[in-house]
Amino acid sequence: MDIWFRPLVWMDYRLGVLLTVILPFVLLIWALFQRQEAIQRLLIIYWRVASLLMITVYLLIPDWKIGFISGVAARILIPISLWFWVDLNEEIRDIPQSAFKLVFTSWRWAMTAYCVLGAIAKSFFIPCGISSSAVESTFCQVWLEAPQAYRNFFHSKPGNEGFLGFVGAVGLVIYIIYLAYFVLIRLGKQGRSALEQ
């Protein structure tokens, strides 16, 4: 059965690869060559937070419902990580205008818009992460097609879905422990300063 929003789902995954992987990687390399430490620090923080997107892909490979929840969480946490740090925001604001700063600022705003709109859109699919019957519906299965294509391309050994899901689950546990440590302990000590990141 064909679903009208299937092309939009695939567009979201393709746009996600461009905005969340390729461009920030290019920007990080560029920041290293430009010796822009504030942008380097912000991008390193971004990569830590955005790792939840890769964890989500691994959780969705074996059709684990928690992947739908972690996907929405990633879309919420990424924009927060890009704008949360007062000291980095000030340092970036003080960087003289250049092509690099323009590209970085454009990416930052594009990522924010992409994540906010994505979180709103994916919120309609939260039932896929709660109900076993919902996750088996075509409505939810369309979101599992791209993770399956990723598995077929990078992990083509048949029957390894459970192991890949386990890798995602371990990643999620480590991510949650680090996030809890940051929110409960580190945030109280350093506030919105990224100096200790």
The answer to whether residue 28 is domain-embedded is: yes
What pLDDT, on the 0 to 100 scale, is given for residue 1? Answer: 53
Q: Per-residue pLDDT averaged across 134-141, rounded?
A: 78
What pLDDT, on the 0 to 100 scale, is given for residue 11? Answer: 93
Q: Is pLDDT above 50 for 197?
A: no
pTM for this model (two decimals): 0.91
The answer to whether residue 197 is domain-embedded is: no
Confidence of residue 4 (pLDDT cuts 50, 70, 90): confident
Full domain range(s) for residue 139: 6-190
What pLDDT, on the 0 to 100 scale, is given for residue 196? Answer: 58
User: How does 83-94 read in b/e, with b if 16+ C-beta sit within 10 Å?
Assistant: ebbebbbebbee
What pLDDT, on the 0 to 100 scale, is given for residue 188? Answer: 83
pLDDT digits (tens, 9 = 90+) for 7-48: 999 999 999 999 999 999 999 999 999 999 999 999 999 999
The answer to whether residue 51 is domain-embedded is: yes
The answer to whether residue 36 is domain-embedded is: yes
The answer to whether residue 166 is domain-embedded is: yes
Total domains, the chain? 1
First-residue to last-residue Cα distance in the chain: 48
The answer to whether residue 195 is domain-embedded is: no
The answer to whether residue 1 is domain-embedded is: no
The answer to whether residue 18 is domain-embedded is: yes
What pLDDT, on the 0 to 100 scale, is given for residue 138? Answer: 82
pLDDT digits (tens, 9 = 90+) for 75-106: 999 999 999 999 999 999 999 999 999 999 99
- Say which residue the tokens 């996907």 belong to: 71
